[in-house]
Amino acid sequence: MIPAAFDYVRANSVEDALRLLTEHGEDAKLLAGGHSLIPMMKLRLAAPAMLIDIAGIPQLDGITASGGGVTIGALTKHAALAASADLRKHAPALWDAANDLGDPQVRNRGTIGGASAHGDPSADYPAVLQALDATFTLAGKGGTRELRAAEFFLGMFETALGANEMLTRIAFDAAPNSAYVKFHHPASHYAVVGAAVALTLSGGKIASARVAITGIGDAAFRAGGVESALQGVNPNDAAAVKAACAGAARGVQARADTFASASYRSAMADVFAARAVAKAASAR
């Protein structure tokens, strides 16, 4: 499959990339690892006239993770996240997702920023980053702005990223009791359903919970009803967790395809949310 013709240029810095984006307008797309964009271009679902390759910008690659918080450059590859012992300790939900995503070759090439900016409704990070309540830093010509994950993911392949903006950094507080579990599509490795959970525990009970689900609707979403129902629940009480996770996808228009019906997807949201709660509670 051959994509439509385009011009190619490399940006050496964020400023350079933003200048090129402004110069070429809506015909231009940023290219990082290319593992979301290139497949779409090969199918001619995307046909940008100009690709601005940002993969070589040095300041945007790296992970800083401690008890104080986690900061990740947008160009950090999935493989680097999957190999980070610090990330595993301080945000196991994201570590789980990075290890579970695609396959080794895809993880060697794809980036967290590229995958997030793509806004795929079945991607893993949109759920994880909402459960971690991450802050996205977007650079534009007028400076930078910060958005919370829930404000960033808007719909199917739709994010709050402006045409002349670039996602540079993702940051969040450490969440040692967090987890992500997913029901793999056996061929694509995307999430048929994926559930991300971040808990704070107090005296053996859940003091607060953030729960986000991907793979069901047009975009990953926070399951607010489940979050409130989990408060005060003993995470080791499987029946209580199951009851709290019931109706995780309530109010969401579930998608259906040849692999999973809408009602099956919704039912699995409850099951995987409960599994993620159990896993998050036992993470340490």
Partner 1 sequence: MQIDLTVNGNQTFIDVEPRLLLVHALRDSLNLTGTHVGCDTSSCGACTVLLDGVSVKSCTVFAVQASGHEVTTIEGIGTADSLHPMQEAFWTAHGLQCGYCTTGMIVSAVDLLKRNPDPSDDEIRAGLEGNLCRCTGYENIVKAVRAAGAAMRAGEARHSVNELMPIHPPTVEPPPSGEAIIPQQLQEAKV
Contact footprint for partner 1 (CB under 8 A): 1-8, 31, 34-35, 38-39, 41-42, 51, 53, 55, 79, 102-106, 108-109, 187-188
Closest separation in Å from C-beta 63 to partner 1: 17
Q: Quote the tokens at residue 250.
A: 């309530």
Closest separation in Å from C-beta 30 to partner 1: 13
Closest separation in Å from C-beta 34 to partner 1: 6
- Residue nearer to partner 1 on the CB measure, 106 or 246: 106
Closest separation in Å from C-beta 11 to partner 1: 13
Q: Which residue has the tokens 């680097």?
A: 80
- Under 8 Å between Cβ of 69 and 48: no
- Residue nearer to partner 1 on the CB measure, 10 or 19: 10
- Residue nearer to partner 1 on the CB measure, 190 or 272: 190
- Residue nearer to partner 1 on the CB measure, 7 or 158: 7
- Residue nearer to partner 1 on the CB measure, 77 or 222: 77
Closest separation in Å from C-beta 3 to partner 1: 5
User: Which strands form 143-148's sheet, in the order they lie side by side?
Assistant: 63-66, 69-73, 166-172, 135-140, 143-148
In degrees, to the nearest 5, what angle opens at C-alpha 232 toward C-alphas 240 and 251?
65
Closest separation in Å from C-beta 179 to partner 1: 19
- Residue nearer to partner 1 on the CB measure, 12 or 236: 12
